[in-house]
């Protein structure tokens, strides 16, 4: 069974990416990711109509997972956590939807006080 997107924090993704792509400029990568996040939040869609995949879009330009990778469904592929719930394919948003139909943040750390 495919798992859908795996949410990852922006900082954590940047660290991982830089580890395997040592020639990548950190500030350039951060800038590209931030602008893709902003675009996704504004509702920017791929030309095919799907929500854009921020991690891929930061590298190749605004497009969805399927158009970027050619795969029809993500399987343990990362997506930035703050935009992950924009995707129907995100495992977290699917879980949230079935458990709790209201829009409620279930961030345990923040909800503590």
Positions touching Zn ion (CB under 5 A) are 46, 48, 50, 64, 67
Nearest distance in Å: CB 62, Zn ion: 9
Q: Is 55 helix (H, G, I), strand (E, B) or coil?
A: helix
The CB density around residue 2, as the number of other CB atoms within 10 Å, is 12
Nearest distance in Å: CB 67, Zn ion: 3
Rank residues 46 and 80 by Cβ distance to Zn ion and give the closer one.
46
What span, in angstroms and rounded, lies between the C-alpha atoms of 81 and 70? 22
Nearest distance in Å: CB 48, Zn ion: 3
Rank residues 25 and 88 by Cβ distance to Zn ion and give the closer one.
88
Residue corresponding to tokens 């029809």: 72
Rank residues 14 and 51 by Cβ distance to Zn ion and give the closer one.
51
Q: What are phi and psi of 8, to 5 degrees?
A: -140, 145
């Amino acid at each position: 069974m495919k798992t859908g997107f795996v949410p990852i924090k922006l900082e954590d993704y940047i660290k991982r990416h830089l580890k395997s792509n040592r020639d990548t400029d950190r500030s350039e990568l951060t800038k590209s990711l931030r602008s893709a996040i902003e675009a996704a939040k504004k509702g920017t869609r791929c030309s095919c109509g799907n929500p854009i995949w921020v991690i891929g879009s930061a590298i190749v330009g605004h497009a969805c997972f399927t158009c970027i990778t050619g795969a029809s469904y993500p399987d343990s592929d990362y997506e930035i956590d703050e935009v992950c719930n924009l995707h129907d394919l995100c495992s977290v948003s699917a879980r949230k939807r079935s458990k709790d139909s209201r829009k409620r943040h279930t961030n345990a750390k923040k909800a503590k006080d």
